[in-house]
Structure 1
Amino acid sequence: MSTPNILMTRIDNRLVHGQVGVTWVNALGANLLLVANDSAAQDPVQQNLMDMVIAEGIQTRYFTLQKTIDIIGKAAERQKIFIVCKTPQDLLTLVKGGVPIKFVNVGNMHFSEGKKQIHKTVSVDESDIAVFKELEGLGITCEIRRVPDEAGEKITDLINLS
C-alpha cells in the first residue's frame, strides 16, 4: 500500500465554506477534498451545499471517519488530498486509525459553554486541550491559521499560555 498524498488536514467546525473550498484548495494545489465527518457523510443536502463553494475541478468525498480510515491507503498518487474534519477528537480517531497525518491546520472551533477562547477563531475545553496535547505527543504539529497567507501559531503555545 502506498502512502496517500495528504497535503494538509484541517479542523473546522463549519467543515467546508468559501475559505476552505477555494482559498485553501488553491493555495495547497489540492485536487481532492475529503470531508471526514460521520453526519455529513449521511447528509446529501449538506454535501450539496458544501459542493457549491468548492473551486471548479476539485473532486469531493464525504466519508465517515471509519470509511476514511479504511480507504485512505487506496488513494492514487495523483490524488492531492486535503482532509477536513470537524473536531480535534475526530482527527485523533483518524490518526489512531492509521491515517498518516503529520500536520494539522486548526481553522475554526467556535466558542460554546465551557470553552475558553485562545485565539480569534478558536475556543477549547479540557477535552480539546487533552487531544491537542496527545496529537503533539504523537509528533503531529497543530497550528492555527485561518488563511494561507497568515502566519501560523502553534496551538500548544497558546494552550500553555492560557
Structure 2
Amino acid sequence: MQPIIQLIRVDNRLVHGQTGVTWSNSLDIDTIIVIDDETVQNIFSQKLMTSIAKAGSVHIAFYSIAGFIDAYFSASGGKKLFLVVKSIQVVRTLYEQGLRFPRINIGNIHYERGRYPLNKKMYLTQQDVEDLNYLNENGNEIFYQDVPGTLSEKIERLDFERLKARR
C-alpha cells in the first residue's frame, strides 16, 4: 500500500508554526514531507523545521522533487502524509508525474515583482494562474485557507488579466 496523501499545501515559508503545528494537528498524519530542491541541501533550514515538527509531535522528512516521486512510488506501509511545497509549479509537476491529492491548499505566497494579489496573503504570477487552472481542469479541489477553522475560499478558474487589473 502506497502512502496516503492527506493534503498538499503551497506555502513559500514551508514549515512554520501554522504548518508544523496547527495544520499537522488538524490532519490525521504521520509525517510532514517537505518537497523542495533547495531545502533538501540546507541542513540549517531542516533543523529549524524539524524542531517545529517536533512541537507538533509529528515526523518530518525532506526530499527533492525527483527524490520524493521515486520514494513515493516505491514506498509501502500506508503512512499518512502532509506534503508542503513552496510553489504551485511543484504541485503541477507532482500531479503530472502521477501523484494524486485529495485537496490542494494554497497558503501564503508572498508578494514579489510580477505577482498580483488574489487576496491579502496570496500573490500570483501568470504561470501560477495557468497551473491552478490546469489543476482545476483536471478535477482537483483547490482552496485557500490560512489555518484550519478559518474561512476557506474555493479557488476556481482564474483570469490573469482580471487579476492584474484588480491591483
TM-score normalised by L of structure 1:
0.92
Aligned match of 1:116: 116
In 2, Cα distance between equivalents of 1:87 and 1:75: 27
Note the alpha carbon deviations across 1:128-152, whole angstroms, 9 max, x for none. 0000000111111110000000121
User: 2:90 — aligned with what?
Assistant: 90
On the 8 A contact 2:6/2:101 being kept in 1, the answer is no
Kindly, what percent of the aligned residue pairs are identical?
30
Structure 2: 5+ residue runs without aligned partners?
none
1:37, 1:46 → 2: CA distance?
11
Deviation at 1:6, TM superposition (A): 0.8
* Partner AA of 1:7 in structure 2: Q
The CA deviation at 1:106 is 0.4
1:127 aligns with 2:127: yes
User: 2:146 and 2:136 mapped to 1: Cα distance?
Assistant: 20
- Give runs of ≥4 in structure 1 deviating > 6 Å: none
Give the Cα–Cα distance (whole angstroms) in 1 for the partners of residues 123 and 9 of structure 2. 15
Give 1:34 shift.
Answer: 0.2
Indicate the residue corresponding to 2:30 in structure 1: 31
Q: TM-score, normalised by structure 2?
A: 0.89
Question: What is the identity, as a one-letter code, of the residue corresponding to 1:10?
Answer: R
Following the alignment from structure 1 to structure 2, what is the Cα–Cα distance between the partners of residues 75 and 37?
22
DSSP 3-state at the match of 1:99: coil
Secondary structure of 1:53's aligned partner:
helix
- Please give the alpha-carbon distance, in whole angstroms, between the structure 2 residues aligned to 1:75 and 1:83: 17
Q: What is the one-letter code of the residue matched to 2:49? A: M
Cα gap change, 1:81 to 1:122, in 2 (>3 Å): same
Determine the C-alpha separation between the residues in 2 that align with 1:88 and 1:130: 10
Q: Is residue 102–residue 139 contact of structure 1 (8 Å, CA) maintained in 2?
A: no
Between the two proteins, the alignment pairs up a number of residues equal to 159
Residue type of the alignment partner of 2:129 = I
